[in-house]
């Protein structure tokens, strides 16, 4: 069964009721937007401990500095400076909480999930999450340290 963005929205709402805390992130090049909050549920502290076989809700609140008809997400694990792609359930940001077209100077809520496959190695790495506009510019880009564990 594939998790859809509306299902993730419900999970995020439940997480917020349980006292979800925003995580400290590093901005890695948000040129077409400004990140307000990154919330990963559950992730009570850094590095986020991601358990194999589980999925984690991701909610990013941001302000757009551009207008765009589309938005596309890309997620990578950074290992030794090399980005390794992570699959996410839906790369189309317009189907993950954002009403498109994206309008300049508006606040948006991007909602998705990060599934951690059982076959991933137990390792520490940095996750990089980008959302690009129709011109391939980063609306947002953030990084956080994680530890994948069994």
pLDDT tens digits for range 32-90:
999 999 999 999 999 999 999 999 999 999 999 999 999 999 999 999 999 999 889 99
Cα–Cα distance for residue pair 62/65, rounded to 1 Å: 10
pLDDT tens readout for residues 81-130: 999 998 899 999 999 999 999 999 999 999 999 999 999 999 999 999 99
Handedness of CA 89, 121, 23, 65 (dihedral sign): negative
- Taking the model in full, what pTM does it have? 0.85
Q: Give residue 109's domain range.
A: 5-149
CATH number at residue 116: 2.60.40.770
Q: Domain count of the chain?
A: 1
Q: Residue 92 carries which DSSP code?
A: B
């Amino acid at each position: 069964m594939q998790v859809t963005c509306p299902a993730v929205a419900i999970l995020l709402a439940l997480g917020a009721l349980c006292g979800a805390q925003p995580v400290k992130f590093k901005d890695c090049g948000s040129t077409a937007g400004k990140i307000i909050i990154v919330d990963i549920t559950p992730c009570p502290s850094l590095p986020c401990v991601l358990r194999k076989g589980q999925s984690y809700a991701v909610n990013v609140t941001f302000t757009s500095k551009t207008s765009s008809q589309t938005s596309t997400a890309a997620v990578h694990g950074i290992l030794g400076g090399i980005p390794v792609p992570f699959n996410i359930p839906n790369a189309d940001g317009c189907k993950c909480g954002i009403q498109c077209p994206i309008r300049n100077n508006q606040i948006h809520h991007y909602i998705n999930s990060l599934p951690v496959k059982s076959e991933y190695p137990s390792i520490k790495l940095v996750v990089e999450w980008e959302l690009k506009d129709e011109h391939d510019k980063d609306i947002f880009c953030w990084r956080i340290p994680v530890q994948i564990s069994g």
